[in-house]
Homo-oligomer: A and B are copies of this chain.
Amino acid sequence: METNTEEKILIAAREIFSQRGFAGTRMQEIADRAGINKGLLHYYFKTKETLFKAVFKEAFLQISRKLNEVLSSERPVMEKVESIVDEYLDLLLANPNLPGFIVNELHTNTEAFIAEIMSMSERPDPSLLIMQLHLDSQAGKIRQVDPFHTVLNILSMCVFPFIARPMLQSMVHLDDATYLHLMRQRKAAIKDFIRHAIQSPDQSAMS
């Protein structure tokens, strides 16, 4: 229950920045949410940009660390793919507007700003998984697929529903509870979809 001021500011800043974006955020709103005044904000974080970078870096690291963790593990390809879906969806369910925040800021801001942010943290690297898919594909262990597009398909199915949530919810008129319920079903749905999409013909005949 002991939350110091700096932590209170960061908590508030995470919420506001991730919801409104950098340009749409007012320092006043962060101060209000944190239960302090504007002056104190600048005492802890000299500028709006400083505070934003702290929040964004943290968010980006959360995503990229998790992604790298699963992408670089040495397991067999289908196991690995399934663990990507499982673990990545866990992260997204716990932080539903993380990907929207990141993608939005990378899209809105200048390239210099992006480059600076990117240099702060290791980028996710899918090349090992792509290589694995390529080899297994050659060896006939999975169906002949384009490895790059396959990885992209997997990421798409996991992340997109969270980014496009407002759009999707208005399309099908789902309340928040129902939407989250569907997201929790997605792990199974995505893994099933992928399995059938990439399994070799012999195996699919057996199923």
Contacts and interface: CB of A to CB of B under 8 A. Distances in A.
Interface of A: 19-24, 97, 100, 102-104, 106-109, 114, 118, 123-127, 143, 145-146, 148-150, 152-153, 155-157, 159-161, 163-168, 170-172, 182, 185-186, 189-190, 192-194, 196-198, 201, 204-205, 207
A78 B190 CA distance: 19
Copy total for this chain: 2
Contact of A21 (B21, B182, B190): B21
Contacts of A157: 152-153, 156-157
> Which one of A24, A104, A167 has the greatest number of beta carbons of chain B within 10 Å?
A167
A27 to B, nearest CB: 14
A167 B118 CA distance: 9
B106 A104 contact: no
Contact of A23 (B21, B123, B149, B155): B21
Contacts of A194: 197
B107 A172 contact: no
> Which one of A106, A160, A207 has the greatest number of beta carbons of chain B within 10 Å?
A160
Contacts of A197: 193-194, 196-197
A171 B172 CA distance: 33
A201 B199 CA distance: 12
Contacts of A20: 23, 108
A153 B160 CA distance: 9
What 3 A-B pairs come out closest when comparing CB atoms?
A23-B24, A156-B160, A149-B189
Given A159-B160, A171-B125, A205-B204, A104 B114 contact: no
Nearest to A18: B107
Contact of A186 (B24, B149, B161, B165): B149
Contact of A166 (B24, B107, B164, B193): B107
Given A161-B156, A193-B153, A167 B106 contact: yes
